[in-house]
Amino acid sequence: MHIHPFDFSEAHYRVYAAVREAAHPEVLLDIAVLKHLDQTRAQSDVLERFLVEQGGQAVGVMEFATPYYDPKPGALEVRYHLRPEAHSLEDAVWGFLMERLAPHSPKELLAQVREDWPEYRYLLAQGFAEVERRWESVLDLHGFDPAPFERPLPPEMALRPLSELPWQEEGFQRALYALETSLLQDVPSTEPINLWPFEVWQERTLNDPNLLPEGYFLALQGEQMVGVTMLFKSSRPQTLRTGLTGVLRSHRRRGLALALKLRALEFARRYGARYIRTANHQINRPMLAINEALGFIKEPATVLLRLNPVRQKPG
């Protein structure tokens, strides 16, 4: 086994994607998104990534990093993927990761893996414990009939896409940021959600290479933004993925969340997508209930795991 630092070149990104696809062909890697995540990290973030070779062939990738979406003092997120024929290297890969991250003295390690992946079982054996799980769900628009769900909007409300609004003006962006951060604080989650500063949200969200302004819908009462749902492009064929969906507390129980979802599904169909993918935390029952009613089908859960305290293996 030979281990090489990831050099963030186009060639290494392609190798990373090939290994990921071989390890988990059911979860495609979008290289443009991975680059965007790498390029929009804070300067203070830790990020060390490596390629694993055996017999002259790349058979694995591994990394540890400051959690991107929810950074916490003293926490590092670990990740590794191995081609099926290279699973005998798991102990060696894990030992290398533990040795390399030790100088950072992390208080806890985090990992996110699907429950049907071999990494899940391996990390549990290393002492990781489950914190929470969320489900990816898929809706096939070919079999979807919106008619049973359609209701008139309250007369004072309107649904408009971001593309028809002055979304490139900072004043509008700050109002949108205020809406989204307010909604995120209400998302049911086992772990508290740490909110990004405005400038970080601005760079990471509005410069996302998969941003689809015409598929990013706002519920408006006059000029006040009171709800949102958003679709993003996907590397999967004929697929769009859903981001945050939510409505301010003051405007709930008026059918706005469902109306926003239906408007997004109508757009997706006209856009030429067949599949819509979304993800929900297991305790977010209101949104899970809406998605289940619409016909979204759950896939195996993605599980957040934590190792705390971090102990070095003897020897």
- Digit-by-digit pLDDT tens for the chain (315 residues) are 999 999 999 999 999 999 999 999 988 889 999 999 999 999 999 999 999 999 999 999 999 999 998 888 899 999 999 999 999 999 999 999 999 999 999 999 999 999 999 999 999 999 999 999 988 899 999 989 999 999 999 999 999 999 999 999 999 999 999 999 999 988 877 777 788 999 999 999 999 999 999 999 999 999 999 999 999 999 889 999 999 999 999 999 899 999 999 999 999 999 999 999 998 887 777 888 888 899 999 999 999 999 986 665 544
Compute the Cα dihedral for 50, 55, 58, 60 and give only its sign: negative
CATH number for region 145-294? 3.40.630.30
pTM given for the model: 0.86
Which of 209, 218, 234, 302 lies closest to 28, judged by CA? 234
CATH fold of 2-133+303-307 reads Aminopeptidase (3.40.630)
Identical fold at 2-133+303-307 and 145-294? yes
Question: What is the model's pLDDT at position 315?
Answer: 42
Q: Hey, where are the domains in the chain?
A: 2-133+303-307, 145-294
